[in-house]
Chain A
Amino acid sequence: MKVLVAVKRVIDFNVKPRVKMDGSGVDLANVKMSMNPFDEIAVEEAIRLKEKGVATEIVAVSIGPAKAQETLRTALAMGADRAILVQTDEEVEPLAVAKILAKIAEEEQPQMVILGKQAIDDDNNATGQMLAALLGWPQGTFASKIEIADVATVTREVDGGLETVKLNLPAVVTTDLRLNEPRYASLPNIMKAKSKPLVAKSPGDYGVEVARRLETLKVVEPVKRQAGITVGSVDDLVGKLKGLGIAK
């Protein structure tokens, strides 16, 4: 079966984001950018499905600026077979991303689309669920385990523990942190990835309007916490806890 994976280029998770002075957003100039960590997990899972003989072809898709090519090359170096870049300089919202992915899914006819559960820049946690709705497919969100036979059995990380659901195929799955540990691309594979097919498209090719529905009016830093105090001993700490009324 064919698997589609969605990968987003975002600020590297090790970078502390800085809010721009004029309140227009977060400063991304000269900031290290990487593949969204959850999407690395999505790519890794697709590769493992291929290694198990379940998946036959992996297509990686990114919607974003020309530089998102790098993100796709990373996916190809990890083991994806080919890539589609839907190029735009707009900041595309989950709803529009989902619409583009739905069109690509209609063209490509994959049996599964794997996305990250959340992009660590906008923290929306929405695209996979929206895609599933648009396609009328079932969804296995926040997956920590995927098993595929004639149906997909997905274990989900939920607030109360671990929930397992069965999904008819085709299905949409979104990844949680403990699904797998993504591999690093080896140097030979990075070289090989350079010649794997990557096609460039535009949102217009899919007839999708990317104008934002949610307008950002301003972006500010959260309220800073006051610097605290350091106590010198457990007895002092117990004293403080008594002061807070949580110890007798």
Chain B
Amino acid sequence: MSVLILVEHDGKSVKDATLATVTAATKLGEVHALVAGNNADGVAQSAAKIGGVSKVYVANAPALEHQLAEAVAPLIAKLMESHDAFVAPATTTGKNIAPRVAALLDVMQISDILSVEGPDTFTRPIYAGNAVATVRSKDTKKVITVRTTAFEKAAAEGGLASVETVDWSGDPGTSSFVSLEASESERPELTSAKIIVSGGRAFGSSEQFHSLLDPLADKLGAAVGASRAAVDAGYAPNDYQVGQTGKIVAPEVYIAIGISGAIQHLAGMKDSKTIIAINKDEEAPIFQVADIGLVGDLFKIVPELTKKL
């Protein structure tokens, strides 16, 4: 089987989500990678080094610079004439593009796979991860998105893929990029962080969220996450949200502070290796998934913890 994967990148470097995608794709067959962008030859050179990738296609066009689905999906559909499966990470980029490709190919997408059980059989979470379905695709071509926390990362270095330039001028001109308001942070990225400290509604204000959590995160070299309630209340930007409809994370250590543990939140972090919960309510559902729990007032505990670390 020949598999085409979408390289997630920011125009400069290959994003980590790509590496887990390659691992999932390798289980299906020979892996080719697509770098769609503008002046993305550097990214293509990096993608060619990923272990397990045998060929890299690079398409450069102004319309591809911001990975607009309207421009990228037809390009992928064209390349799919010579591939059997398309695999993308289940990031916001992958989730935006892959279903558009699937419909162009008249294929039902297999979203957010956790494992590859066979050439047409996969497992995927449903109902916010409260159930895991084994599904078999009857489509001859497959379109798949990958839950990146469920797969090991392929080696970023050591591969020797060939790079082929694809000519592309298929911008339908129906959409355009205006701006990206990037959340700047010196801290590690949520989805690749080894340690995450995450805060909930209990922090009460944006000031308290940051004045308490940031020093703790700095001490631990951790990324900062948040529950939906904390994001909705404006304590943290939207891309901090962990959960069913936010980011899916699986760090070595996840510290949930003042988070009750609603199923939608658990869906995004329950595969963390070690979960630590701090909550004043000993009945809070978060304690049912926590390996280590501490019952008490976060306004006392967090400063003391930061000091003692």
Contact = CB atoms under 8 A, between A and B. Distances in A.
B111 A123 contact: yes
A46 to B, nearest CB: 20
Interface string B252-277: 11000000000110000010001110
A177 B137 contact: no
B237 A123 contact: no
Nearest to A38: B245
A158 interface: yes
A88 interface: no
Given A228-B292, A238-B308, A213 B107 contact: yes
B220 interface: yes
Given A129-B96, A158-B239, A165 B109 contact: no
A161 B239 contact: yes
Interface residues of A, number: 84
Contacts of B179: 163-164
A153 B291 CA distance: 45
B127 A11 contact: yes
Interface residues of B, number: 89
Given A123-B112, A134-B103, A139-B69, A231 B131 contact: no
A229 B293 CA distance: 6
Contacts of B293: 228-231
A97 to B, nearest CB: 11
A199 interface: no
B79 interface: no
Given A166-B176, A178-B238, A228-B292, A214 B110 contact: yes
B244 A123 contact: yes
A244 B174 contact: no
Interface in A205-248: 212-222, 225-238, 240-241, 244, 246-248
A95 B107 contact: yes
A93 B274 CA distance: 36
Contacts of B236: none
Interface in A174-211: 176-178
Nearest to B69: A139
Contacts of B181: 161-164
B252 A125 contact: no
Interface in B116-137: 121, 125-137
Nearest to B102: A130
A108 interface: no
A123 B253 contact: no
A130 B292 contact: no
A247 B111 contact: no
Interface stretch (B23-31, B36-44, B87-95): B87-95
A217 B175 contact: no
B126 A122 contact: yes
Contacts of A122: 126
A154 B178 CA distance: 9
A16 B263 contact: yes
Contacts of A167: 174-175
B297 to A, nearest CB: 11
B63 to A, nearest CB: 12
Nearest to B124: A123
A213 B111 CA distance: 13
Contact of B132 (A141, A160, A212, A219): A219
A23 B288 CA distance: 24
Contact of B92 (A95, A159, A219, A238): A159
A17 interface: yes
A142 B92 contact: yes
A141 B252 CA distance: 31
Contact of A136 (B91, B93, B172, B220): B172
Nearest to A167: B175
A129 B139 CA distance: 19
Given A159-B91, A225-B289, A237-B276, A215 B103 contact: no
Given A95-B107, A125-B95, A118 B245 contact: yes
Given A129-B99, A237-B276, 18 more contacts: A16-B130, A124-B111, A129-B69, A129-B95, A129-B100, A130-B102, A134-B103, A141-B69, A165-B178, A168-B175, A177-B245, A213-B137, A228-B292, A229-B292, A233-B294, A234-B301, A240-B276, A244-B253
Interface of A: 11, 13, 16-17, 19, 26, 38, 93-95, 98, 117-118, 120-134, 136-139, 141-142, 144, 153, 156-168, 171, 176-178, 212-222, 225-238, 240-241, 244, 246-248
Pairs A-B, 10 closest by C-beta atoms: A129-B99, A133-B103, A213-B108, A130-B103, A126-B99, A138-B175, A228-B291, A164-B178, A138-B174, A17-B127
11 contacts: A93-B108, A126-B99, A130-B103, A139-B96, A159-B191, A161-B181, A161-B239, A217-B136, A234-B301, A237-B292, A241-B276
